[in-house]
């Protein structure tokens, strides 16, 4: 089974890098959707199914923590793993993400191996590898 992934980051550069990194992981991915902020992500989810969300935290309009809270409050998306990929490394932000139900947390800068290791560790049941 192939899966669909949503990458949310206001930086087109990071979205492009994550596209490449996700393809390099060897996971069976069909489509990688992109959104520039939380609002755009929620709009995109109205018309698409995804099995994994990778999101930045600091974004305009709706940040990654607000997006995470919105997904966990929605019965349809509650069980989709959300991984935060962000420069925010402070304990407060990590704690907020964990409390809201984030499946993982990766700090920028990241390597392809770090992303793969994190996804393998937490998403194996959700995503065929």
User: Binding to another protein by residue 23, rule CB under 8 A?
Assistant: no
79 binds another protein, rule: CB under 8 A: no
R_g of the chain, CA atoms, integer Å: 13
| Choice between 60 and 128, CB closer to another protein | 60
Least distance CB 58 / another protein (angstroms): 6
Phi (first) and psi of residue 74, to 5 degrees: -105, 120
Under the binding rule (CB under 8 A), the answer on residue 39 touching another protein is no
Query: How many residues bind another protein, per CB under 8 A?
Result: 21
Cα–Cα distance for residue pair 114/120, rounded to 1 Å: 10
In angstroms, the CA 58 to CA 73 distance is: 20
The rounded distance, in Å, linking the Cα atoms of 1 and 114 is 24
Residue 60 is a binding residue for another protein (CB under 8 A): yes
Residues near another protein, by CB under 8 A: 10-14, 16-17, 20, 58-60, 86-90, 92, 108-111
């Amino acid at each position: 089974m192939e899966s669909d992934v949503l990458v949310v980051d206001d930086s087109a550069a990071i979205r492009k890098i994550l596209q490449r990194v996700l393809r390099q992981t060897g996971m069976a991915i069909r489509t990688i959707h992109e959104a520039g902020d939380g609002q755009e992500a929620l709009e995109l989810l109205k018309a698409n199914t995804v099995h994994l969300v990778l999101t930045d935290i600091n974004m305009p309009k709706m940040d990654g923590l607000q997006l995470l809270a919105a997904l966990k409050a929605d019965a349809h998306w509650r069980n989709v793993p959300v991984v935060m990929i962000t420069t925010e490394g402070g304990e407060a932000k990590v704690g907020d993400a964990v409390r809201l139900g984030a499946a993982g947390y990766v700090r920028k800068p990241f390597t392809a191996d770090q992303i793969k290791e994190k996804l393998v560790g937490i998403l194996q049941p959700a995503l065929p590898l």
